Every structure is written in C-alpha cells, then in structure tokens.
Amino acid sequence: RGAEANASRARADSHNADGTEGPDDSETITPEYLEESVQKFFENNPLLFSTAPNNEETQKAQNEFETTVTRLCQVGTAKSSKARSRRSTICYTMNAKRNAYSKIPSKAQFDGLCRVFSSVLSGCSTDSRGVSNAKVLMNLSQHFHFREKDKNGKRREVHVKSRIVNHPIWKKDEFWDQALNLAVGESLTHSGVMANFERASNRIVTTSTKKRSEWTQRHQTRWHDLTEEERYEAASQVHAVVFAQMGAMSHTMKEFGCSVEQTSAFVRRMSIRNQLPMSHRTTLLRHLVGEDKSSAFSPNKRP
C-alpha cells in the first residue's frame, strides 16, 4: 500500500513536466486558492500528526492534504503561461509566512512542503523572474524546519534546505550568473553610487521638464558627466559591491551543493564580466580553496 501511494505521488508531482496543458490551467486555481493551500502547511491540524487516530476522519483529512500538495506540485512544474504568475504567488505567499512561522507542525506537512519547494524550483527558469522566485525559496528553505528525534533520541531541527540542496537548478551556471546580476543591481540601487556624485548645478529645468515639474526635476548624473577622479571613485565603489555580492553568492553556492570547481568557474567568469581587479578575484578564489580544505579536515565531516 505504501509503495503504491509513493508511486502515485511521484506520477502526480511530475505531471506537466513535458510542458503540456493540464490541471494547472483550471480557472479554479486563483490567487486566493493558492494562499489557502499554502496556509495548510502551517496550520496546527492534529489529524495530520503521526499520533492521529486511524479512522475515517483522519484518512479523509490526510487525503485532502495530499490532494492539495499534489495540485501545488503540478502548478510548480507546469510550463503554461499562467503557471509563471502562480509560482510567484506561491513563493511570495510562503515568504509572507516567514515572520509568523518557522516550525512546521507535523512530518506530513514538512514532507509536503519540501515536495512543493522542489516542484516550484523545477518550474523556475533562469530569467530574472524565475531566479527571483528561486532565491525566495532558497532563503525560506533555511528558515522553515521540522523538529524530529535523532537516533539518540535528541531533538534536532531539519530544514527544508536539506531536502533541496541537490536540486538540478543549482547546477545551472545561468542561474547563479543571473542571481548575482540581480543581487548587484539591487545593492547598487540601494547604495546610490551615482547619486553620491550629484551636483547642485545638475538641477536643470528645461522646456520639456517644466511640463512635469518646474522646480523639482533633477538631471540624472551619467557616467560621462563625471570627472576622471570621480569615475575612478565610482568604479571602486561598484567593484566593492560586486566583490561583496560575489563572495556571498559563492558561499551560498557551496552551501547548496555546488562543487569547488563550479564555484571557482563562477568567480572567474563573473570577475571578468564585471572587470573586477585581479586582486579581488584572487582573494575570492583563495577563500574558496581555504573553505574546501577546512571542510575536508573538519572533525564533524564523515569519512
């Protein structure tokens, strides 16, 4: 019975993997439905606990929950045009639970949540929208967890990350390249590198801008507006942002199962694209090699 259920679950989770239209295109899958479905992973439902009585009511609750998980998995892997926005809804609904929840109530809910994470990651492309969704799940996977007993009877936390650490998306170089581009772009936007070089004389009012705002329109500083000294300073600030983000990203790559070879290739490739100084590239590579050596000789590392 258990083998049959697992086989049925595997078939359901892989539904629509070939890109064909399927149940995910049903008009019943509204944002409200997705939000209600995601909530089921976090609510305290005694009928989903391992200690639940073996009766008809428990079986019904577990079957309904399995149906919810299966349908979310179908949405996660689907390739239809509607599925892209639905994946975003699932990701950001889960993200909204971050502050209120961290511990998943039951093993069944935790296993279901991990299956949905894996399915949504499988459906994510390597464009900016797909990578943004995957990054949300990457962060949440280190937050949501289930407490279980180890072989010694001690309680330990098992995070969703442990179930998705070897997902195929982490092996795609395009994913990490796009993830770095997004991270650098966001960091530069918040740091306001070019805004640091705004001049009072840049408050220019022209005939075309008067129509919008006669007194508040500000001329946006461009690269060619800067002096040679200012360009050098701006480039240094940009390199500092790229260096910091690349260091953080390479560490994340290692945490999610990427090899030293893949991570080193990422550092070299993106250092060249972003014109990082050789000293920065060398520092990042040495850090990677040092991390790998230290983990190899870690007393907690299994032989």
User: In this predicted model, what pLDDT tens digit does every residue of 176-189 receive, in sequence order?
Assistant: 999 999 999 888 88
> What's the pLDDT score for residue 219?
52
Q: Does residue 209 carry a pLDDT above 70?
A: no
In angstroms, the CA 76 to CA 200 distance is 51
In angstroms, the CA 217 to CA 2 distance is 67
Q: Does residue 212 carry a pLDDT above 60?
A: no
**149 compared with 251, residue with greater pLDDT:** 251
Q: Residue with structure tokens 């007393």?
A: 299
In angstroms, the CA 92 to CA 87 distance is 9
In angstroms, the CA 302 to CA 188 distance is 41
Q: Does residue 11 carry a pLDDT above 90?
A: no
Dihedral of alpha carbons 60, 66, 68, 70, sign: negative
> What's the pLDDT score for residue 20?
42
Average pLDDT over residues 149-166: 91
**Do residues 48 and 108 make contact, with C-beta atoms less than 8 angstroms apart?**
yes
> What's the pLDDT score for residue 273?
93
Mind listing the pLDDT tens digit for each residue in 58-104?
999 999 999 999 999 999 999 888 899 999 999 999 999 999 999 99
Q: Does residue 111 carry a pLDDT above 60?
A: yes
Q: What percent of the chain has pLDDT over 70?
A: 76
Q: What is the residue-averaged pLDDT of the chain?
A: 82
Single-letter residue type at 180? L
Average pLDDT over residues 136-147: 96
> What's the pLDDT score for residue 63?
97
Average pLDDT over residues 139-153: 92
pTM of the model: 0.78
Predicted confidence band at 236 (pLDDT cuts at 50, 70, 90)? Answer: confident
Six-digit token string for 263: 């991570």
